[in-house]
Structure 1
Amino acid sequence: MSNFIRLIKLCRPHYKAMLLGTLLATITVLANVGLLAISGWFLASMAAAGIAGVQMNYFTPAGTIRFLAIVRTASRYAERLVTHNATFLLLSEIRVNMYATLSKLNNVDLAMSRSADLLNRLQNDVDALDKFYLNVLMPMMVALLSVPIILLFMSAYNANVALICFMGILLIGVVIPALLSASLTKNSHKETHLSAQLRAELSDTLTGLRELSIYQARTQQLNKCDRLNEQYNEQLFVRHKALANADGLTLLIVQMAMLASIVTIAPLVYTNSMVNVELAMLTLFVLASFESVLLLPNAFIELPNVLKAAERLFTLQDKASDQSNNCSALIDTQFDKNNIALTLNNISYKYDEHNALNNVSFMLKSRQKVAIVGRSGSGKTTLVNLLTGLWPLQQGSITLGDHNNAQDLHSLSSDSRANVINILAQQHHIFDGTLSENLRYAKPNATKEEMLEAINLAQLEPWFNELQEGLKTRLGTGGRSVSQGQSRRIAIAQALLQNPAILVLDEPTEGLDNQSKQTVMNAIMHVMSDASVLTITHDPALLAQMDNIIWLENGKLVAQGSHKKLSEKHQEYVSLTTRF
């Protein structure tokens, strides 16, 4: 029920359009009921007048029928227009909220979630909510508005017929939907879970098609997808079977209500307590009245699926909200970039039962150059993620600032931390935009002169001079129009624009050819001249320029010192840094 209420709250920005659509749908139902009832009375009256050989005024009922037909057509068209527009507005609202939610999640939650599952929540779960207003909420509201009006008019003619109609409406609109909702709740959970799992497996299959082909595992993976698809179709069959049974039972109840109405009215006509033409009118009145609740069984069949999809979305939203509340307590602090130090004290970090870091301590002084070396799995990347605040701290402390003004790194706001620390990752993302737009991500108010200076210092000038459109050159999706070395130097230009006090480099020359490596090295030297640098690298040329080397193995600090000192004392260190 809480998820249902939260969905109602999501409708608040567009409640006027939704209420208007509900009103138009109610008018359509009432017009259709009135049209069928008056048509039955009119045809029966004309037949009775013809048999009796008397005249009757057919202009008024004919005009009324024509008016109701026009109202029904116009209101139906307007209702479709308004309700579908409201649905699209609601979906856009939900999608924007979901993107905002994902942007608030910390990197741990994003890293530990399957990208296919997040995509499924953004696409499939959000699309499932497009049924909430049209197929769930609006039928309920239309029934609440139209049923009392219909029963009020019907009771004016015959209370017993109104009671029969009410019982039929109660069965179709309440009893059947309640039974369906209770029986399909468990099924909806399985259906939503299997749908998400199937989409994730299909996404993984397409992403890893090359590897599946190499290892001849494509058939095995496709069989797995087929099994999931069969299980998903079984759950769909259960829901569709329930809908078919509900439709059949609804039709039976409608026919039984009509028959009971005829049985109730016929003696009254026989005893002249009721005009004979009213038998046809009330019978058709009863038949048409069920239109107000015919969509309720389907609404309650869709409701569990909608609520399960909403639950998956709200789970992310609650997690992001908790993190936002924690972030609101963070501190905004200004630091002196010319005199700032980074201190790590007894840092430990675990992945499940694996110790990625174990009591690691060292200090990065102002404008000092420190490198981290170690084999794969020694904890280098984990340490960098902790330093940049991308991962939460489990044990130990990381402080930023001088001795007189030291602040815990993880107590600082993201803005304060970003003003001090910049990370140059091994895989740098280039956005689909112009060169100037990508540079301004680092400094939104950067002038043209500042960007050109950063391009020059990042050793991009020869490539930039060949661009016909200069800073307006589009770099393509994912930077497809630039090489890996150029992408790395664009990242360096961004770092130069931000002018951080501490620059974290993750394998800055890894995967580059010798010429690109040397160019990137020269660009890094410009950045290093005015900043404290912490880099993960095994490049001897870069290690030789470091003030201190932190050597990690299995999450532990083995030794630290200059590159020359470690090379003289530890043969294993020499093998580690000259493996190429």
Structure 2
Amino acid sequence: MRAYADNDYPADHKPDWKIIAGLWPYLTEFRGRVALALSLLVLAKLATVSTPIALKYIVDYLDQNSGQDLLLWIPVLLVVAYGLLRFGSTLFNELRDAVFARVAERAMRRVSLRVFEHLHQRELGFHLDRKTGGLARDIERGTNGISFLLRFTLFNIAPTLLEILLVAGILLVVFNAGYVIAILVAVVVYVVFSIKVTEWRTKFVREANARDNQSNSRAVDSLLNYETVKYFNNERFEAQRYDSDLEEWEQARLKNRLSLATLNAGQALIIGVALIVIMAMAVTEVASGEITLGDFTMINAYLLQLFIPLNALGFVYREIRQALVNVERLFKLLGDKPAIEDAPDARELAVDKGEIRFEHLHFAYRKDRPILQDVDFTIPAGHKVAVVGASGAGKSTLARLLFRFYDVDEGAIRIDGQDIRDVTQDSLRAAIGVVPQDTVLFNDTLYRNLAYGRPDATEEEVHRAARMAHLEHFIHSLPDGYDTKVGERGLKLSGGEKQRVAIARVILKNPPLLILDEATSSLDSLSEQAILGALKEVSEHRTTLVIAHRLSTIRDADTILVMDGGRIVESGSHNELLATGGHYAHLWEQQHRGGDN
């Protein structure tokens, strides 16, 4: 599976406009609201294009009756109509936005949830390769981009085109084709110029986004590794690297802004020339008496009314292109299928006895570096099997394969005869409890981190799990007790305390199968003995796979497997393996000599 990268697309890549069609499902949930919003949009535009007509009659009445006795109620009535039309235009637009707000906000909610669920479905390899900071920025920009596309495609481009057609029709009927031709030429030149220049500057938008992702990823990564930075006095080094990324981002943003200035200046020039040409035509006709002063005022109002949204159309087109870039990355992320998926006919795992069978496994993270080679063994129901060996021998890979973070290349893993690839991942993982080597906690209270093992557990059940994991004395020593905040990734707790939280979670989950992946590696000898008692109690009558470094912790295992180079080279009980004088005996002697027994 190809890793997620910040540079999936070259800077000059053109986004697919079909992305807009992909937004249709988010509109169908509220068909009635969308229809009402479009109706209000049409009413707003009708009111808008009627306003200059009312203004024309006001000016003509005052001009034609200048110096005569005026019937004040006529211009007053016209002024009221003019004011009501302007108010109606604004009112209908605001009502349209209010009606459509639920549609746009719900779309953002739906997409955000879909992305969140999709990321949790992705395989472990994706999350090991990802850059969290850049990924978070892509999600944020993508969801905001969807809202923008929904709002402005429907309520800016479409109404602006409608207004251009209405104005062109009115000018053609009331005046002559010259005005329509001049306006259409100006619109065409404006649109073509805007599209061409916007296409040219899209590469600068992409570059700015990529540099933004890069700098944000660097900042998040550095702050997550705060302690490591301090250990090596590398604050200045980290600041220099971050500033280097910011410098690239600054340059990309500068190019983006300069290209935007070019676009804005060109658009302003086109509009200025069009206004001069059309107003010159109108002045000439007023002077010759072909049109009235009111007609001149109406033409001027229409031009201002037309070119303001047209100018906005240029802005919207630019923003839509940028939104497409952002949404494209989000949709691409959603389009990448997880490497590990349930089979179409997957069924629920049924754990009866709990026997686990590893059948002639072959596995490699990379094809040129095999990890497991013909690994074959069985963990009988209710038994504890420990796997030991040097670092890199493939011990933890067994646990990852059993939990189905990866699928085997050859062979099979069966639980009570069921191939784990034929059952749902949800039911498989619900049946397995894991105490990992490195426990990462949520930035929340201690109680909620404990209850994460079973969120619907009662308070008494959570407290009982804490007692069994020998955490209660520590918790009572804290000023805030169970309400103590553990900090990001649990950094306010020691390694041993975090490990006990992990054990308490598994106790609370109460699964039939256990994986203990060096579960006591962060504990001192005194704590280790206390935890071993709890682990022994919780693993009793459960099928347990123990990945161990300290051999002293697995002396009570029913069977000990010794791995070397991705193969099982020895198998037996603690005493049996010592008696053979092989790999296990050598490892035991090394640890015994080092005092780790």
The TM-score bracket by the shorter chain reads 0.7 to 0.9
CA positional deviation for 1:506: 0.9
Further displaced range: 202-211 or 361-370:
202-211
Q: Which residue in the other structure is 1:508 paired with? A: 519
| Structure 1: gaps (5+ residues) | none
Q: Which residue in the other structure is 1:574 paired with? A: 588
Q: Is the 8 A contact 2:383 2:541 kept in 1?
A: no
Q: Is the 8 A contact 1:422 1:500 kept in 2?
A: yes
Percent identity of equivalent pairs: 20
1:16 & 1:199 partners in 2: Cα distance?
41
Are positions 1:519 and 2:530 aligned together? yes
1:69 & 1:24 partners in 2: Cα distance?
14
Q: Which residue in the other structure is 1:164 paired with? A: 182
Q: Which residue in the other structure is 2:542 paired with? A: 531
**Per-residue CA shift, 1:4-28, capped at 9, x if unaligned?**
2223433444565566556656655
From 292, 305, 313, the counterpart of 1:288: 305
Are positions 1:364 and 2:379 aligned together? yes
Q: Which residue in the other structure is 2:347 paired with? A: 331
Q: Which residue in the other structure is 2:573 paired with? A: 562
Matches within 5 A, 1:219-238: 219-238=236-255
Q: CA RMSD in A?
A: 3.5
Aligned length: 571
SS of alignment partner, residue 510 of structure 1: coil
Q: Which residue in the other structure is 2:436 paired with? A: 425
What TM-score do the two structures reach when normalised by structure 1?
A: 0.85
1:434 & 1:269 partners in 2: Cα distance?
78
Change in Cα spacing, 1:431 to 1:333, as seen in structure 2 (3 Å) is same
Matches within 5 A, 1:7-46: 7-13=23-29, 31-36=47-52, 38-39=54-55, 42-43=58-59, 46=62
Q: Is the 8 A contact 2:356 2:413 kept in 1?
A: no
**Per-residue CA shift, 1:83-127, capped at 9, x if unaligned?**
666544443333222212222222222222122233223334434
1:575 & 1:447 partners in 2: Cα distance?
46
1:444 & 1:86 partners in 2: Cα distance?
32
**Per-residue CA shift, 1:340-384, capped at 9, x if unaligned?**
232231332233633332332222122222111122222222221
Change in Cα spacing, 1:119 to 1:270, as seen in structure 2 (3 Å) is closer
**Per-residue CA shift, 1:36-84, capped at 9, x if unaligned?**
564466346534543x657464223222222223324434554565566
1:454 & 1:208 partners in 2: Cα distance?
31
Are positions 1:131 and 2:148 aligned together? yes
From 149, 162, 166, the counterpart of 1:149: 166
2:30 & 2:232 partners in 1: Cα distance?
53
Further displaced range: 160-169 or 516-525:
160-169
1:84 & 1:451 partners in 2: Cα distance?
42
Q: Which residue in the other structure is 1:114 paired with? A: 131
Further displaced range: 20-29 or 102-111:
20-29
Q: Is the 8 A contact 2:186 2:274 kept in 1?
A: yes
SS of alignment partner, residue 293 of structure 1: helix
1:436 & 1:201 partners in 2: Cα distance?
32
SS of alignment partner, residue 234 of structure 1: helix
Q: Is the 8 A contact 2:47 2:89 kept in 1?
A: yes
Q: Is the 8 A contact 1:184 1:301 kept in 2?
A: no
2:324 & 2:252 partners in 1: Cα distance?
16
2:529 & 2:563 partners in 1: Cα distance?
26
From 365, 383, 405, the counterpart of 1:390: 405
SS of alignment partner, residue 58 of structure 1: helix
SS of alignment partner, residue 182 of structure 1: helix
| Structure 2: gaps (5+ residues) | 1-16
Q: Is the 8 A contact 2:124 2:405 kept in 1?
A: yes
1:501 & 1:574 partners in 2: Cα distance?
31
CA positional deviation for 1:532: 1.8
Q: Which residue in the other structure is 2:11 paired with? A: none
SS of alignment partner, residue 176 of structure 1: helix
Q: Which residue in the other structure is 2:552 paired with? A: 541
Q: Is the 8 A contact 1:22 1:79 kept in 2?
A: yes
2:485 & 2:70 partners in 1: Cα distance?
84
SS of alignment partner, residue 6 of structure 1: helix
From 105, 112, 119, the counterpart of 1:95: 112
CA positional deviation for 1:179: 1.2
What TM-score do the two structures reach when normalised by structure 2?
A: 0.83
Change in Cα spacing, 1:447 to 1:55, as seen in structure 2 (3 Å) is closer
| AA at the equivalent of 1:574 | W
Q: Is the 8 A contact 2:57 2:78 kept in 1?
A: no
CA positional deviation for 1:465: 7.8
CA positional deviation for 1:514: 2.5
**Per-residue CA shift, 1:144-169, capped at 9, x if unaligned?**
33222222222221232123222222
Q: Which residue in the other structure is 1:375 paired with? A: 390
